[in-house]
Amino acid sequence: MVIRPVYRLPILAVAMMTLLAALWGGLGRLGFQPAQFYSPPVVFHGPLMISGFLGTLIGLERAVALNRGWPYFGPLLSGSGALCLIAGLPNPSGPILIAAASLVLVMAFGSMLLDHPSLFLSTMGLGAAAWLTGNIFWLLGFPVSQVVYFWAGFLVLTIVGERLELARMGNLDPFGKWTFLASAGLFSAGLLFSLKDFETGLRFSGAGMIFLSAWLLKNDIARRTVRQKGLPRFIAICLLFGHFWLGVSGLSVFFLGSASTGLLYDAALHSLFLGFVFSMIFAHAPIIFPAITGFAVPFRSRFYIHLVLLHLSLILRTGSDWMGWMQGRSFAGILNVFAILLFAANTVSSILGARNRS
């Protein structure tokens, strides 16, 4: 059953609505809007960004890749769960729907693995399992500050699995394969061990993130494509910046200890979710977006504006976190939001420009 691109647009629209709500909630956490009037996006800023926006987006992309009808229930469920959170509906309606979405994604990867067993699909499937695990613990009443690392595992393993696929096509040597397995294994083992000893498990996972960062910087084909021009160079620069931020996040997690709040916690999460994850979104949007919607996204040199703004503002934010400079952190948070909105505006502008010319 092939789902036409026009029928995917409502799911994508819900994902973008969730992104806007998450950004609004993030500003509320920084003190830039009256939180008492917008409590759901403020309270659920993390779940909305990770499960509502990114979970829906990844689920939709996997459904398109699988080219079957039933995997679309995943993004439909996560999008519906996000809308429940935004509307402030009683728990556990939103978390249940999001957990069901993660189960569908696990099943989708299981189906793909049956057809095409591979290391990169296994890695991405493990990421989906981490998302499901985090959602189950969230339903059981675990605090977001603890389950967020399983959600982080979902994104890290999904993205690293995708990059592993390209590294494999670039003739990855046995040493590269085994160092990948060791790094990903250390990261995953740390997540599991955190259930018994939170602080020690986090340090293992942080070390795994540092090693994965180094592995990506060494083995990703972005090291070669950065010498090209146009879109390949832009993608490569996004990827290399993202790999760097994965290491920064791992360093922050390693030194975080058992703290579940505070500035180092902020640095660890935002260097990962903004620096690593959104760099990947910036890189792959001109490729993935046309596959989902059927609309071409031609590369434009102005794409570098939102890329540079994101990373400069993130340097300011993480630096302010490490130094304890609250004003710098708040100002950087506004710039983070503006960079993401500018990315959306530049993408839409590129689409409209291409359609007008055609």
246 vs 27, residue with greater confidence = 246
The answer on pLDDT for 34 being more than 60 is no
Is 208 in the same domain as 263?
A: yes
Q: Do residues 32 and 123 both lie within one domain?
A: no
* 159-189 pLDDT tens trace: 999 988 876 655 678 888 899 999 999 999 9
| pLDDT value, residue 35 | 47
Q: Which of 69, 97, 116 is the last residue of a domain?
A: 116
Residue position matching structure tokens 């992104």: 19
Question: What percent of the chain lies above the pLDDT cut of 70?
Answer: 94
Looking at the structure, do residues 308 and 162 belong to the same domain, yes or no? yes
pLDDT at 140 over 60: yes
Instruction: Report residue 343 as tokens.
Output: 């990315």
Instruction: Clarify whether residues 214 and 107 are in a common domain.
Output: no
The answer to whether residues 111 and 164 belong to one domain is no
- Answer yes or no: do 174 and 300 share one domain: yes
Structure confidence by residue, pLDDT tens digits, 47-56:
999 999 999 9
Q: pTM value?
A: 0.94
Nearest to 243 by CA among 268, 270, 277: 277
Task: Name the most confidently modeled range: 90-99, 221-230, 298-307.
Answer: 298-307
pLDDT tens-digit readout, 266-290: 999 999 999 999 999 999 999 999 9
| Residue 20 shares a structural domain with residue 154 | no
Structure tokens at 102: 């993660």
Q: What is the mean pLDDT of the chain?
A: 91
Buried b (16+ CB within 10 A) or exposed e, 20-29: bbbbbbbbbb
| Inter-residue contact 302 to 353 (CB < 8 Å) | no
Q: Which of 82, 116, 150 is the last residue of a domain?
A: 116
Whether 81 and 184 map to the same domain: the answer is no
Question: Are 94 and 217 members of one domain?
Answer: no
Region 86-99 average pLDDT = 92
Sign, CA dihedral 82-83-89-94, equals negative
In a shared domain, residues 322 and 229: yes
Which one is predicted more confidently, 293 or 74? Answer: 74
**Residues 207 and 336 reside in one and the same domain:** yes
pLDDT value at residue 43: 87
| C-alpha span between 157 and 63 (Å, rounded) | 18
* Total of domains in the chain: 2
pLDDT in the model for residue 167: 64
Is residue 176 within 8 Å of residue 164, measured between CB atoms?
Answer: no
Q: Dump pLDDT digits (tens) for 313-342.
A: 999 999 999 898 999 999 999 999 999 999
Domain encompassing residue 221 = 118-358
Percent of the chain with pLDDT over 90: 77
Least confident of 17-21, 40-44, 338-342: 40-44
Residue 217 near residue 243 (C-beta atoms within 8 A): yes
For residues 101-117, give the mean pLDDT: 95
229 and 101 in a common domain: no
Structural domain ending residue among the three candidates 66, 90, 116: 116
